Amino acid sequence: MATRADFAGADGATGAAGGRIGRYRWVICGLLFAATAVNYVDRQMIGLLKPLLSKELGWSELDYGNIVFWFQCAYAIGYLTFGKVVDVLGARIGYAVAVAIWTVAHVAHGAVSSVGQFALARFGLGIGESGNFPGGVKAVANWFPQRERALAIGIFNAGSNVGAIVAPLLIYLMLPAVGWRMTFVLSGVLGLAWLLAWLLIFRDQPRDKPQVSAAEAAYIEQDPVDPPVRVSWLTLLSMRETWAFALGKFCIDPIWWFYLFWLPSFLGKQYGLDLTSWKTPTAVIALGAIYLISDFGSIAGGWLSSRMLAAGATPNRARKLTMLICALFVLPVMFVTSVGNLWVSVAIIGVAAAAHQAFSANVYALPSDLFPRFAVGSVIGIGGTIGAVGGMLFSLHAGDVLERLGTYKPLFVLAGAAYFVALTAIHLLSPRLERVRTAL
C-alpha cells in the first residue's frame, strides 16, 4: 500500500504506482456539488415563497414555524436512517434513493394548500434531503485521501450556496409566468436530471471506473485500510468522539436553517423589500450576494485546514484553528438588526454565512478523521439527527419570538454565539481529535 510520503506532490505529480496522478475524483466532487445545489433549491423555495404563501393561505409566524419544524423532524429521522443506509448499500444506491424521494416530495408541494398538507409535503422532503450529506461524505471518504477530504467537502458543500442563489432566480423567472404551484413542479426536473447522471457516472469504488488511473487509485487509497466491519449505533453513541461531532452539529445547523428559512422575511421586514410580488430584482440580488459570499467561505474553510495538514499540522490543530477563525468572523452578525443600510447588512450576513460554511466543512471532516470508513456514514447520520433536533427547537423558538416580540434581534444574537459553543463542545469531548482506539 502506498504511503503519504509517496504522494507529497500536487495532483500532477508522479505517484508511487507510476504515471501521473489523475483528477477524476474531482468529477465525483462536481457531482456532489450539483446534488447539493439541487437539494438547496428544493429546500429554500418555501422560505422564498413564504410572504406570498402566508398572504394567500393565511399563515401566521407560528404556522410557518410548525411547517419548518416538520421538515426538520423528518430530517432528523431520515438523517439517522440514511447514515446507516449508505453504510450498508453504499453511496451510489443510497444517495439515489434519497434524491428520488426528495424530488417526488418537492413536486408534491405544487398540489397542496393547507398548513397540514404543506407540513406533510415538507416531511417527505426532509426524509429525502437528509440523505444528501451522509451520502456525499461517504462518497468523499471513498474517493479522497484524508488530506483532501475537508477541501472536497467544502467544495460540494458550496453547492448549497449555489442552490440558494439559483432558487430566487428560478422563482423570479418562473413565478410570474406559471404561478407558485407549477414552479414547484417544473423545478423538480433538476433532481431527475442529476439522478440519471449519478447512476451513469458514479461507482462506490474508484478502481471500478476505467477513467481512474492506477496512480490516482493508489493516491486515493494512501491512508491505512479499515477492516470491513459493521458497527451498531449503541456502540457509536457510547463514544465521546461521536458526541463531539453531534453537539457541534446541534449548535450550528439551526443557524444555517435560520438563514435559509427566515432570511427573506427578515430582509423584507427590515428594509421593505418586495419579496411577495418579485417585481424588482433587489431582493434577488441581495439574497444572491449573501450566498455568493458564503460560497467562498465553504471552499476557503476546507482549503485552509487541508493546507495546514499538507504543511504538517495535526488534524487537531488544523480543524480547530480553522473553526476558531470562522467563529470570530461570525460575531458581527449579532448586531445586524441595528444596521440601517441594506448592503452593509448583506455584507455582515454574507460573511457570517461564509464563516458558517467554512466551520461546517471542518465539522463534516471530523467523522472521517476520528472513525474508520465503515462507521463514517453512521456517525454522520447520528450527528445530522442531533443537528436536526437543534433545528426543530430553533424553529419553534423563532416562530414564538417573532409572533410575540416581532424582532429578529434575539435570534441573531444566538446565531453569533453558537460557533463558540460548538467549538468548546468539540474540544472538551475530543481534546486531541485522535482516532478511536476502542474496538468497534
Over 153-201, what HEC string results?
Answer: HHHHHCHHHHHHHHHHHHHHHHHHHHHHHHHHHHHCHHHHHHHHHHHHH
SS3 letters across 357-409: HHHHHHHHHHHHHHCCHHHHHHHHHHHHHHHHHHHHHHHHHHHHHHHHCCCCH
pLDDT of residue 171: 86
pLDDT of residue 274: 67
Q: Are 99 and 42 in contact (CB under 8 A)?
A: no
Nearest 5°: the CA angle 253, 259, 263 is 160
- CA proximity to 217, closest of 156, 148, 142: 142
pLDDT of residue 1: 42
**Grid cell for residue 197:** 447522471
CA distances (Å), origin 332, targets 28, 347, 350:
36, 10, 11
- β-bridge mates for residue 14, sequence order: 20
Break the chain down into helix, strand, coil percent, rounded to 5.
80, 0, 20
pLDDT of residue 280: 63
What's the number of CA atoms in the CB half-sphere (13 Å) around residue 269? 13
pLDDT of residue 93: 93
pLDDT of residue 159: 85
Mean pLDDT by 10 residues, the chain (440 residues): 43 51 88 94 88 86 89 86 82 93 94 91 93 87 84 82 84 87 91 94 88 86 71 88 96 93 88 66 84 82 88 93 97 96 96 94 89 82 88 90 92 97 97 80
Distance from C-alpha of 409 to C-alpha of 414, rounded to nearest angstrom: 9
Q: What is the pTM of this model?
A: 0.77
Domain topology for 22-223+232-429: Growth Hormone; Chain: A; (1.20.1250)
Q: Are 311 and 368 in contact (CB under 8 A)?
A: no
Q: Are 319 and 365 in contact (CB under 8 A)?
A: yes
